[in-house]
């Protein structure tokens, strides 16, 4: 029997990971698609007059098996890839895209939704139901339900091709990261934790000794500490050329084709550009509003970055090096400058940020804010590195939380939150199974940088959005919100990492258990805005390139357009985009962040203002403010427009000033 097709009997309905083989997935997807098609046909062909229950609610449950199998498979494919899983991903991409088009192109089904939409004022719907009907109607129209004949067929073909290309793009980046390493033959100047992490990376790759890989948690500290400029350049070049090496994994042609297809898709739906199409349902609404936000921050960020670059270049020359400051020099000299300005030794600091201590910190904050408790679950998972917790409140099960924190060759880069199962009440109280995946360097014990710890808290903010969701319909559950609103909970949760009482309690020396000395803690917090010119410039450059790609006609040569955008911005020569086009996974592995990379900054405008709501009470854990945060943001999902939800929490929408202040870029 296929364990994917039988009831899952693990704790809280977890999959029987130990019984699942890669060969089980293809037939399970086939069964899921067959069941979903039959259910959709039954809804569309129902002779009874359309009602919210027999149409919208029926659609909510129509793909239950397919959703269950997909939730498991795509989590495994991202976090623990195999050749079989990658092959199945490529096979599934056009099939799942075709099925999605079948649903939205089903004229009888759309007619039922149109009937409900026309009569929406007379249906007696509650606010959540009215919102769900609006979103279904919008989804069908934006998917081309009003197109007929050749136009509908062409749009279906475009979406299918985009799904295939997005899968290829992601797999190419993983292949590039998996194939490159640099033996660490000289460890002079490198801290012990970095050498240990390189040794662990070498073991994972089957190398004879320690290696530097393209994992961010390994290569960034290498660039910060390696005194050998030639080695820094070698590593940095490999890191920034992922997907652009002229080999079988080159993504430049894929990016060009995807941009052309997106423009074609937007035109077919009556939009002037893909950016116009994509931003219409978001908070920003228009490319002009996005550009205005980014440029309001760009000018002070660039000015700060150029001033910092002049200082670092002077350090470079005093170090006996010639020529201008290069991108592979920035982190090395910036780390030295930070140590001088703030008396912070990053290696010593890491001793107070063990992974286990920071997990305890993130759980403690969630307990104090929302009353959640986390008990370890002793159950088999998909990889030995993964671990699970039973999340409860007042003795009631809330969710299962899974954490998978260490880099490995089978895992794509970056950090993310996803769900094996999302919360909903329709059809029974379904509690979520939420996963945080990171790529920290493995060690015994695992030590994090302050930035790593911030990433940990960030992804856990997304997890809270999923775990505390309290809606009836899965369509609006958890993180099913506007893309430029989804980062609010995650970026907001980062603030609690730097609350002094949190650090005093949890930032303890990994060997002695002693708390971080108060003077070190103060220096760490005082350095909070250090190098924000650099960080802001590398982010906005990526966001502006993304926006330019999707406005107007698609570029025949995306790399040429990338260069033109950076030149028009006056990009500092010693800073590069955070994500160059050939490995810009946010934008090209799917449509999620296409024309939407700006959303991190859009959400940051709100997260700075939202944390100020706690600060204004004098208590970072103020119960009343936390209750409002849960009620109007974390539990509400997409039940209302994002600006309505935020205004209910805060009373008004914020301006950009809080963001500039938080990044230390506010000009007096």
d(CA 487, CA 242): 26
User: Cβ of 202: how many Cβ atoms within 10 Å?
Assistant: 19
Q: 459, 487, 494, 630: which one is catalytic?
A: 459
- Do residues 454 and 46 lie in contact, with contact meaning Cβ atoms separated by under 8 Å? no
403-430 residues labelled b (16+ CB within 10 A) or e (exposed): bbbbbbbbbbbbbebbbbbbbbebeeeb
User: Cβ of 649: how many Cβ atoms within 10 Å?
Assistant: 21
Task: Please tell me what DSSP assigns to residue 46.
Answer: -
d(CA 61, CA 42): 12
d(CA 238, CA 204): 19
What phi, psi does 280 have (nearest 5°)? -55, -45
- Do residues 108 and 45 lie in contact, with contact meaning Cβ atoms separated by under 8 Å? yes
Q: Which residues contact 562 (CB under 8 A, 6 or more apart)?
A: 545, 577, 580, 581
501 burial type by CB count under 10 A (0-12 exposed, 13-18 middle, 19+ buried): exposed
The bridge status of strand 396-406 relative to strand 433-440 is parallel
Largest alpha-carbon pair distance within the chain? 83
**CA-to-CA dists, residue 550 to 194, 261, 454, 577, 666, angstroms:** 40, 11, 31, 17, 30
Based on the residue annotation, tell me whether 459 is a catalytic residue of this protein.
yes
Pick from 543, 576, 561, 542: nearest CA to 236: 576
Catalytic residues: 459
């Amino acid at each position: 029997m296929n364990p994917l097709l039988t009831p899952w009997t693990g704790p809280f309905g977890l999959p029987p990971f130990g019984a699942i083989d890669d060969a089980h997935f293809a037939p399970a997807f086939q069964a899921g698609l067959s069941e979903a098609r039959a259910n959709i046909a039954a809804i569309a062909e129902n002779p009874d007059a359309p009602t919210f229950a027999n149409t919208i609610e029926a659609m909510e449950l129509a793909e239950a098996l397919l959703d269950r199998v997909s939730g498991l498979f795509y989590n495994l494919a991202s976090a623990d890839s195999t050749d079989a899983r990658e092959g199945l991903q490529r096979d599934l991409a056009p099939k799942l895209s075709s099925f999605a088009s079948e649903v939205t192109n089903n004229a009888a089904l759309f007619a039922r939704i149109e009937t409900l939409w026309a009569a929406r004022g007379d249906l007696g719907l509650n606010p959540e139901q009215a919102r769900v009907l609006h979103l279904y109607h919008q989804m069908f129209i934006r998917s081309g339900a009003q197109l007929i004949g050749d136009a509908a067929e062409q749009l279906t073909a475009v979406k299918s091709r985009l799904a295939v290309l997005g899968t290829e793009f992601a797999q190419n980046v993983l292949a590039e990261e998996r194939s490159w390493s640099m033996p660490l033959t000289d460890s002079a100047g490198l801290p012990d934790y970095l050498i240990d992490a390189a040794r662990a990376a070498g073991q994972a790759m089957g190398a004879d000794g320690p290696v530097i890989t393209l994992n961010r948690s390994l290569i960034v500290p290498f660039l910060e500490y390696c005194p050998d400029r030639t080695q820094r350049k070698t590593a940095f070049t490999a890191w920034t050329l992922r997907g652009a090496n002229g080999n079988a994994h080159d993504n430049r042609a894929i990016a060009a084709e995807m941009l052309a297809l997106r423009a074609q898709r937007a035109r077919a739906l009556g939009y002037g550009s893909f950016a116009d199409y994509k931003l219409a349902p978001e908070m920003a609404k228009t490319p002009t509003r996005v550009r205005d936000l980014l440029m309001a921050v760009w000018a002070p960020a660039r000015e700060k970055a150029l001033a910092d670059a002049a200082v670092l270049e002077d350090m470079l020359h005093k170090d006996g090096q010639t020529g201008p400051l290069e991108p592979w020099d920035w982190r090395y000299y910036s780390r030295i400058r930070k140590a001088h300005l703030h008396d912070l030794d990053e290696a010593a600091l890491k001793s107070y940020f063990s992974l286990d201590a920071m997990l305890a910190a993130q759980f403690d904050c969630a307990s104090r804010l929302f009353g959640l408790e986390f008990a370890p679950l002793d159950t088999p998972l998909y990889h030995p590195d993964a671990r699970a917790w039973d999340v409860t409140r007042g003795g009631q099960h809330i969710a299962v939380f899974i954490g998978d924190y260490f880099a490995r060759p089978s895992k794509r880069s970056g950090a993310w939150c996803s769900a094996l199962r999302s919360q909903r009440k329709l059809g029974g109280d379904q509690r979520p199974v939420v996963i945080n995946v990171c790529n920290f360097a493995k060690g015994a014990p695992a030590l994090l940088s302050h930035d790593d710890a911030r990433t940990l808290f960030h992804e856990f903010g997304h997890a809270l959005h999923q775990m505390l969701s309290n809606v009836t319909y899965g369509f609006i559950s958890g993180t099913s919100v506007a893309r430029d609103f989804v980062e609010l909970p995650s970026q907001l949760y980062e603030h609690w990492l730097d609350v002094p009482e949190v650090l005093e309690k949890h930032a303890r020396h990994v060997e002695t258990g002693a708390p971080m000395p108060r003077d070190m803690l103060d220096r760490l917090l005082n350095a909070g805005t250090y190098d924000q010119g650099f960080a802001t410039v590398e982010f906005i450059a990526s966001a502006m390139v993304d926006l330019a790609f999707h406005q107007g006609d698609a570029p025949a040569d995306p790399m040429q357009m990338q260069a033109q955008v950076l030149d028009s911005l006056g990009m500092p020569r010693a800073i590069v985009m955070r994500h160059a086009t050939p490995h810009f996974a946010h934008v090209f592995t799917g449509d999620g962040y296409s024309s939407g990379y700006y959303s991190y900054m859009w959400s940051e405008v709100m997260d700075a203002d939202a944390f100020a709501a706690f600060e204004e009470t004098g208590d970072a854990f103020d119960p009343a403010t936390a209750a409002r945060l849960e009620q109007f943001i974390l539990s509400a999902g997409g039940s209302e427009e994002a600006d309505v939800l935020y205004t209910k929490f805060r009373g008004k929408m914020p301006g950009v000033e809080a963001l500039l202040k938080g990044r230390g870029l506010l000009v007096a």
